[in-house]
Amino acid sequence: MREKALLLVVGVFLCGLVAGCGGGSTAGEVAESYGLLNNWDLQPRIAEVIESGQADKMIEDGHAKVRNRVNGVGSSRVLVTEFLIHGEVYRVEVRRAFNPMQNVPSFQVRFGEAKQGFESKIISWLNLAGVLDALQNNSYEARAEVAYRAWKGTDGTVHGVTVRPGLKPEWQPSPKPLDLFIRTKSWPIPEMWFRGLTTDGRRSSLKRGDCNYDFESQIPIRHSKSEFSCDGRWYIMNPGPAGFTGTEVLPFVNLELYNAIGGF
């Protein structure tokens, strides 16, 4: 029993030393869960980078590594985007779950079609099930809650977690967007139209949890593909889905949808 207790204490201690714990459903909770950056003065280089303003500049310039993961399940899940400076989480963005199809039951869907440039394809029933699942279970609000991790300065001053609301993104049009049309049995609407934004040179986000795009500041993080592929930014283009009734398009984030469609 004492050995198990000792292992638990050691685990908690290590969790405070390194990034990766990251529990919680709000940006403040997630940032708090990492513990104090430069605790016990073990990371003075990172403290110097923060104090100089270079940490924020690295994020602004797109030079910070960005990582995505999901906390929670179901409608209570959140998308956590981590910004790393010298291997340590410095800033997090947290986005709440969002269902773009909440007003359209899956059994009303007839078929799907994807178009990009002059190319188009009908989505097979097998792939369409994955597309619907990606829309319903892997979509998140575009606006994020942002938090900066607590850190200890080189003079010993402790700076607590700071939280601020994210900005509503104003994404610029893409040179070659991907349009996804999902046609229904005319109830409650005959068609849903989603548009995935792309940028030439950005890698499609996923598989290893990395993201190549700062959704808030709109900065490409790295370049590794020449073809146009979706980078996680999507719009609801027509009224009807998700209670959307306005005339402006409604942004959301989905890092799985492009892969579910199968690309071109």
Tens of pLDDT along 227-264? 577 889 999 998 777 766 667 788 999 999 999 998 77
The sign one gets for the Cα dihedral 220, 147, 79, 235 is: negative
Q: Would you state the pLDDT for residue 217?
A: 62
Tokens found for residue 148: 């900066």
Categorize the per-residue pLDDT at 11 as very low, low, confident or very high, splitting at 50, 70 and 90.
very low
Q: For strand 191-198 and strand 230-236, is the pairing parallel, antiparallel, or unpaired?
A: antiparallel
Reported as a pLDDT band with limits 50, 70 and 90, residue 218 is: low
> Which tens digits make up the pLDDT trace of 124-145?
888 999 999 999 999 999 999 9
Q: How far apart are CA 242 and CA 234, in angstroms?
A: 14
Average pLDDT rounded to a whole number, residues 214-225: 57
Residue 10 has pLDDT above 60, yes or no: no
pLDDT digits 0-9 by tens, 162-216: 999 888 888 888 888 999 999 988 777 888 999 999 875 544 443 334 555 677 6
Distance (Å, whole) CA 48 – CA 45: 5
Residue that has been written with the tokens 């575009």 in this structure: 142
**pLDDT tens by residue, 25-84:** 999 999 999 999 999 999 999 999 999 999 999 888 878 888 899 999 988 999 999 999
CA angle 153, 158, 160 (to 5 degrees): 120
Task: Look at residue 212 in the predicted model and tell me its pLDDT.
Answer: 53
Question: Among residues 56, 41, 221, 210, which one has the least CA distance to residue 148?
Answer: 56
Find residue 232's DSSP bridge partners: none
The token pair at 11 is: 């685990």
Is the pLDDT reported for residue 108 higher than 60? yes
Q: ∠ CA 84-90-91 to the nearest 5 degrees? A: 100
| Kind and range of the H or E run holding 80 | strand 78-85
Dist. CA 121–CA 172, nearest whole Å = 26
Q: Is-contact 263 204, C-beta < 8 A? A: yes
